[in-house]
A and B are shown apart, each in its own frame.
Chain A
């Protein structure tokens, strides 16, 4: 005979499973139109539909950037419960972190330009940056960090920096000249659904991005953190161990 507790937990599990199936279905349905919008807009930008004016190019780049925000939101929705339950499948491979940083720079240039922000990337000429990760997931982490910086910074700069703080470790930093975050709020920042009070309501966001970044970086045995102060901007960073080419 089932006890009240076990009845409760099996009904919780059922609800959890239904919730997950529902999110998965909704996300799948969202992703199809998002794919088409992203695809056709990028093809227009690449000249597949002929020449377009610079003004039209700017509008399309903006639309593409907003669409990317939705893609990230859907990815975050899907990822969160899967990572928590250890059900996310990782496709691990070796990749240079500098390459991921360059992709992020390209992807956010239009949005930063539109806001008048200076977006830059700093990579030393000699760098040991080969890491063993799921490329899509590490792309998501970097995109989440750069997206936040661009979103919450009204003027000034956003800078991505890749460096080796010590041998065998690669660090990626995203610094901005945004409003900064109080010491108190920094402690809550990587929690699920937490949104910084000074910025909540000003822009779209689910409060999932940083939480997922933390789960993913920890999954890859790395560390993630923030250095910030009110009115002094913020630097979000993560560190991962580098691998040699022949390692697995």
Chain B
């Protein structure tokens, strides 16, 4: 074994490990304007093996949803610039947006929004305050396993 081989073996390879993880877990796009909550969910979801792409409002979320490969979108409703449901309506008009499952994660539980979400093909409507991040992860895993 020459020196260069020894060196490459001794170098820690966290980046590679993370990349490997990335290739395995589902790609989840989190669209959430509360940065504190986003950080919390991101930490938990990454810990559970998901690759989290994040966006801080509906417009940013729409761009990410159209440009990147996502397996699932977790969407808040009340957000600046473009609300979650307006974002979803636009996304559904695109070919790419017709098949990606969207789950609403919000603290807004008004009848109007829930009805509109159903019309836009949302399968699950999760109230943030009712669940811990682990419980949200479990619900998403159950959903992906269906």
The interface of chain A, by Cβ under 8 A from chain B, is 24, 27-28, 31-32, 34-36, 38-40, 42-43, 46, 48, 71, 74-75, 78, 82, 87-89, 91, 136, 139
Contact yes or no, B43 A48, CB < 8 A: yes
Give bound CA distance, A39 to B137, whole Å: 12
B37 in contact with A36 (CB, 8 Å): yes
Chain B nearest Cβ from A212, distance in angstroms? 14
Contact B132–A136 (Cβ < 8 Å): no
Is B6 on the interface with A (CB-CB < 8 A)? no
Q: Is the Cβ of B43 less than 8 Å from the Cβ of A43?
A: yes
**Residues in B neighbouring A71, C-beta threshold 8 A:** 129-130
Asked if B34 contacts A39 (CB within 8 A), the reply is no
Residues of B within 8 A of A31 (CB): 107, 127-129
Name 9 extra pairs, CB < 8 A, besides A42-B132, A48-B47, A75-B130.
A24-B110, A31-B128, A36-B37, A39-B40, A43-B43, A89-B111, A91-B125, A136-B127, A139-B130
B134 is an interface residue with CB less than 8 A from chain A: yes
Q: Is the interface of A mostly helix, strand, loop or mixed?
A: helix
Q: Verify if B109 is at the interface (C-beta below 8 Å from A).
A: yes
Asked if B132 and A87 sit within 8 Å, CB to CB, the answer is: no
Question: What are 5 A-B residue pairs whose CB atoms fall within 8 Å in the complex?
Answer: A31-B127, A32-B128, A36-B34, A43-B133, A71-B130
Which residues of B have CB within 8 Å of A89?
Answer: 109, 111, 114-115
Q: Which of A38, A46, A82 contacts B129 (CB 8 A)?
A: A38
